Structure 1
């Protein structure tokens, strides 16, 4: 996309951030807003749609009330660079990810629209900007969100300026996870920990032993080892010996991932298989 460069005075080429919220200010209803950091002022945005080219997805950790909150940044190239920032666990983020996962060609512009739900909920609707048709997807609360993000990133073309956030490689690593934003590892570990009901304090202890604070600070092989540790912890009372447990994990999870199955789906299938064997043995 080539644009004419205007010479003369201008504002610095900083991105315009849009924050998603179903709110009201001085009688003015809005679904997203700008925030003036200098004046600490919320500026409602009345237009509910943003048309542009999806340029990047970023996961950014922000501190709120003493806790880290993972945010999804949707980077859109339009008349300016816009960043739609929302919590990665919000309905807006999830409905956006489900819809955008249906897009095959990111060289065409999209329309991202904020849509109100019940109470304070905000959903995202995605449209083909050329045809104005909505891009639909089925709701799936158990979707592999990290996998969706990585898959989308693999289809986007990184510019040199974006390389620190999005690597210029499209081949999955040994865990079947596409290299992309390092903070994807935070979400990856969280999803697997939740699936396995693995104690969060043990994750913290494991990270401290590696002298890091967050999973995204680990090397790829260390992340793989953490995932393996969590899985074997889940299965520790389901196997007669540790060697059998390790072999089962290697064959059912690692090899499945190598063959193109997503990590979450491979672990789910492994858990279901082990549970079925356990039921048969106790019957």
Structure 2
């Protein structure tokens, strides 16, 4: 969590604050997005928790259910958070649950591996975009990264950068737009450039 200063939140598992927090958190699918946690006063010394999407300021709401299965809700939230181990008797102890790799992160990893493109250069490129992984980028930026990696590989395979880019557009971009598998298209493009270079020697 990020805040303007350090805050310590202490609450018991049986409190209304915890239960309203858990109910709202149970509908969140992506905990990478920023949240606003607000305390709302109830009657006398009772406080409730409200969660908001920090970007849209929309409240994340789930109907109050005093008979909810709290252990299951905690388990589901911890699973989405990556599996946080708990030793509290009221909650189940969980092992770390690996998160599935985002398709766009896997896409960049596979293409980078195929091209034998340096990981450090990918990280540096992402830093310029103010992100630490491709899946946080718009698809157009991810496509730009793929093109950057491919044209870097082709730099010494063609007589001119324009030729490499033209062949990339035709054999990769256009082929993928027509339903071809991207890795297969890139592999075919690489073989074509290597064959052309070998023939020119």
Q: What is the TM-score of this pair, normalised by structure 2?
A: 0.55
Structure 1 residue 280: Cα displacement? 2.0
Q: Greater Rg, structure 1 or structure 2?
A: 2
Please give the per-residue CA displacement for 1:5-40, whole angstroms capped at 9, x wherever unaligned: xx98341353659x9xxxxxxxxxxxxxxx783218
In structure 2, C-alpha distance between the alignment counterparts of 1:218 and 1:8, rounded to whole Å: 40
Counting only pairs closer than 5 Å after superposition, residues 1-283 of structure 1 correspond to structure 2 as 9-12=67-70, 14=73, 37-39=85-87, 71-72=99-100, 183-282=102-201
Q: CA, structure 1 residues 212+260, in 2 after alignment: closer, same or farther (shift >3 Å)?
A: same
Aligned counterparts of 1:70 and 1:262: Cα–Cα separation in 2:
27
Contact 2:104 2:134 in 1 (8 A): yes
Length, aligned pairs only: 129
Q: In angstroms, what is the RMSD of aligned CA positions?
A: 3.1
CA–CA distance in 1 between the matches of 2:158 and 2:117?
17
Q: Which residue of 2 aligns with 1:100?
A: none
- The structural deviation recorded for 1:212 is 1.7
Q: Deviations over 1:177-231 (max 9, x none)?
A: xxxxxx3211111111111000111111111112222111111111111000000
* 1:71 alignment partner, SS class: coil
Q: CA deviation at 1:269?
A: 1.0
Distance 1:42 1:206, change over 3 A: same
Whose helix proportion is higher, 1 or 2? 2
More strand by share: 1
Q: TM-score, normalised by structure 1?
A: 0.40
Please list every run of 5 or more consecutive structure 1 residues that lacks an aligned counterpart in the other structure. Answer: 1-6, 20-34, 45-61, 63-68, 73-87, 89-182
Contact map agreement 2:112 2:119 (CA 8 A) in 1:
yes
Query: Secondary structure of 2:186's match?
Result: helix
What do residues 81-134 of structure 1 show as CA deviations (whole Å, max 9, x unaligned)?
xxxxxxx6xxxxxxxxxxxxxxxxxxxxxxxxxxxxxxxxxxxxxxxxxxxxxx
Verify the 8 A CA contact 2:117 2:153 in the aligned structure 1: yes
Q: Deviations along 1:244-267, whole A, 9 cap, x unmatched? A: 111010001001001100111111
What's the offset of the Cα at 1:273? Answer: 1.4
1:127-173 per-residue CA deviation (whole Å, 9 max, x = no partner) reads xxxxxxxxxxxxxxxxxxxxxxxxxxxxxxxxxxxxxxxxxxxxxxx
